[in-house]
Structure 1
């Protein structure tokens, strides 16, 4: 059984509002009995005998059926989330910048996003692997930052989602706790 982090794209913004209790219940009804939501931005940790690709497919089908929207998720193995947090070269907390990690279910899309960001006059980003790109934005100016504007383009929506580093740390810790609980119950 594997532990996974599931990142929903575009909920609780733009008219798609999902209560985390409803999300958790929908996933539990789909067979993810230990699904746990974190924060109100569509972060879930769960365990499954399925591989990550199958968890992605099941979660997207569940969300489409339960909430009636074109759902996209990025699913990562819990251990990979920990590796990405560790690999991030930018600070967790800084008075002038926020650290973000854009996650992708499609390496080619992430490569295209990285190339577009690298073409900016000033770019503070680093690809962490085929599924993650870390970047900085000024405090109070995230949505106006040039890279944020690029990453918000429609062509990236179906394959990417962004979280701040502090959120990924919380997800890493919750996924580790889930994996530990699995190990003791086996």
Structure 2
């Protein structure tokens, strides 16, 4: 069985409530085992028979189940435990400081220059971004709340799905998913 990390986009914000107990039940109904959730923002670690090659089908199935349950679309970004470990290993920014200042946006497909075009020009003082594969790393020395870079990235191209997690969440999920 493969250890997976699911990152649900857009839940428990803006009135879109979804209980983590319901999320765990939905994942179990999809055939997932050892389902654990971390905080209320849609972070799930689980085991499933699906291989990395079957990731797209698994993500679509989980998204469909969640959407049917709550009545709105919930994109699901998946990474294997190994892929999440690689995200940490390849981080281009210092990781020893405040973990809320370093953010990773997880995408459904590899990040292209056009996906972030113009965003860096909007960056606030000291803000930076780097993309590697499906991961977009953001260095936000003043946090996410009023970041011009985050606001510029929120205007993403149609058909592109991202969901962001701070470094504390990323490292916790990696610990939970370590084989």
TM-score range, shorter chain: 0.7 to 0.9
Structure 2 residue corresponding to 1:124, chosen from 128, 134, 141: 128
User: Secondary structure in 2 aligned to 1:17?
Assistant: coil
**Aligned pair in 2 of structure 1 residues 121, 98: CA closer, same or farther (>3 Å)?**
closer
Q: Where in structure 2 are there 5+ consecutive unaligned residues?
A: none
TM norm structure 2: 0.86
TM norm structure 1: 0.83
Moved over 6 A (4+): none
Matching of residue 143 in structure 1 with residue 149 in structure 2: no
Task: Identify the residue that residue 28 of structure 1 maps to in structure 2.
Answer: 28
**Aligned pair in 2 of structure 1 residues 72, 150: CA closer, same or farther (>3 Å)?**
same
Q: 1:32–1:46: 8 Å Cα contact kept in structure 2?
A: yes
**Aligned pair in 2 of structure 1 residues 33, 97: CA closer, same or farther (>3 Å)?**
closer
**Structure 2: how far apart are the matches of 1:76 and 1:138?**
27
**Structure 2: how far apart are the matches of 1:154 and 1:17?**
24
Q: 1:102–1:161: 8 Å Cα contact kept in structure 2?
A: yes
**Structure 1: how far apart are the matches of 2:32 and 2:98?**
39
Shift of 1:91: 2.9
